[in-house]
Amino acid sequence: MTSLSLPLVSSNRGRLTLWAGLAIALTAVNLRTAVTGFTPLLEIIGSDLGFGVALAGLLGTVPAASFAVFGFLAPAVTRKFGLERTATVALGLTTLSLLMRAFSPTPSLLVLATVLALAGIGAANVVIVPLVKAWFADRLALATSLYLILLQAGQFIAPLLAVPLTEATSWRLSVGIWAGPAAVAGVVWLVLALRLPADHHAPATATATGAGPRISRSSTVWGLLILFAMMSLSNYGIITWVPAVLTDAGGSAALGGSMVALYSAWGMLAALVVPHLATRMTNPFIVVVGCAVFLTAGYLGLLLSPLDGTLVWVCALGIGVSTFPLCMTLINRRTKSPQTASAVSGFVQGIGYGLACLGPIGLGLLREATGSWSIPLLVLAASAVPGVIAGWFACRPRYVEDSAPQPMTRDADQQPRR
């Protein structure tokens, strides 16, 4: 797997680092466009292909499910093929699948193409974290901030272009246009992978032989996992249901849409600030506590006075989910090698997104059962509590490798040792 300790000629290393930076930037832009550039068009696409609300709801839950399943599997692929080659294949799969989705003649093919596209993005979600550590370990905060800002920019821009492009041309072009940036990112990764020495892709011995740390026994990893899961639960709950909360209170659909855009815009500021805090503070637990306070205030504000102070409540929610860039930074800060970072990234994002899948569905069922948004909003506010507890474990200044026991191995004499 990738390790810049391998002997590269200095001039080549400089050029390869530039290629890696470009590839990471292009990948970051593509990590959300296939989702946020698609969901605003579900009604239009459904009318054209002949599917209704049930299938549209299924397509809405596919992103988190795909990120979970394929994110969890990604580290096994990187152990065999290396980070750069995995990124190349992931972006290639995304490109082809986005084109297939744009030309889908039936709902079933549309669903299949969506799953495959998000499979590639799910893998890219995982590998981009250790890639940042592998290539920019000495500029971790800056590199993390830049890729998260570009991720948020793609998430923000894609839905703004989706409907105007569809009205000017067709939904197929609007959906398929995002295959272009994905293809460019894939090509840059391919060029980089081909220019690296053959042994640059070889997995580290400890990881390849199964002698790496058992990350599932690390309290730091479980802290990161639960913190990430609670953040994802809030994020998907906010994006899915805050417009409905506002319209049920008497607000307009336009208000709901603009508030989601405002909420998303805060992610760019968080991406700029939080990674630097996480790298400069020995224990950034105060960031977790602050985010929990903002989240709780935002949810209670929407519960008690949804249309008075809406801007304040939504801004509070936008600040509250700043634990996302914190988690992404801590995955690298709390691991010693890109190999362990890759394993932790897959574990945290795979299970975290899986738990987040339950959020939009569960909150919707609570709304139907109780007839109001009071209980769902209280549940979301209460989710800040396990987030704070988990954050205490995640933020402690210790490495995963030091807190996770090593699996048993045997030496040449077949004597057990640790």
pLDDT at 238: 86
User: Are the C-beta atoms of residues 391 and 281 closer than 8 Å to each other?
Assistant: no
Burial class of residue 207 (count of CB atoms within 10 Å of its CB; 0-12, 13-18, 19+): buried
CA nearest neighbour of 381 among 325, 316, 328: 316
With cut-offs at 50, 70 and 90, classify the pLDDT of residue 412: very low
Residues 38-93: pLDDT tens digits?
877 877 888 899 877 667 666 767 777 777 887 778 778 888 888 899 999 999 99
Helix (H) or strand (E) holding 270: helix 253-280
Q: Residue 193 and residue 187: Cα distance in Å, rounded?
A: 10
Q: Measuring CA to CA, which residue among 32, 92, 36, 106 is closest to residue 67?
A: 32
The 10s digit of each residue's pLDDT in 325-360 is 999 999 999 998 888 888 898 899 888 888 887 777
- Which residue carries 């297939």 as its tokens? 100
Structural element, H or E, at residue 417: strand 416-417
pTM (2 decimals)?
Answer: 0.77
Tokens of residue 198, six digits: 């053959």
- Comma-separated ranges of CATH 1.20.1250.20 domains in the chain: 10-203, 217-400
Average pLDDT value for residue range 19-29:
93
88 - beta bridge partners? none
Looking at residue 397, the DSSP 8-state letter turns out to be S
The answer as to CATH 1.20.1250.20 being correct for domain 10-203 is yes
Superfamily of domain 217-400: MFS general substrate transporter like domains (1.20.1250.20)
Res. 25 pLDDT band, cuts 50 70 90: very high
- What token pair was written down for 284? 């950034």
The strand ranges marked E within 139-279 are: none
Per-residue pLDDT, 212: 53
Inter-CA distances, 4 with 20, 26, 69, 82, 136, Å:
12, 21, 29, 13, 9
Q: What is the DSSP string of 222-252?
A: HHHHHHHHHHHHHHHHHHHHHHHHHHHTT--
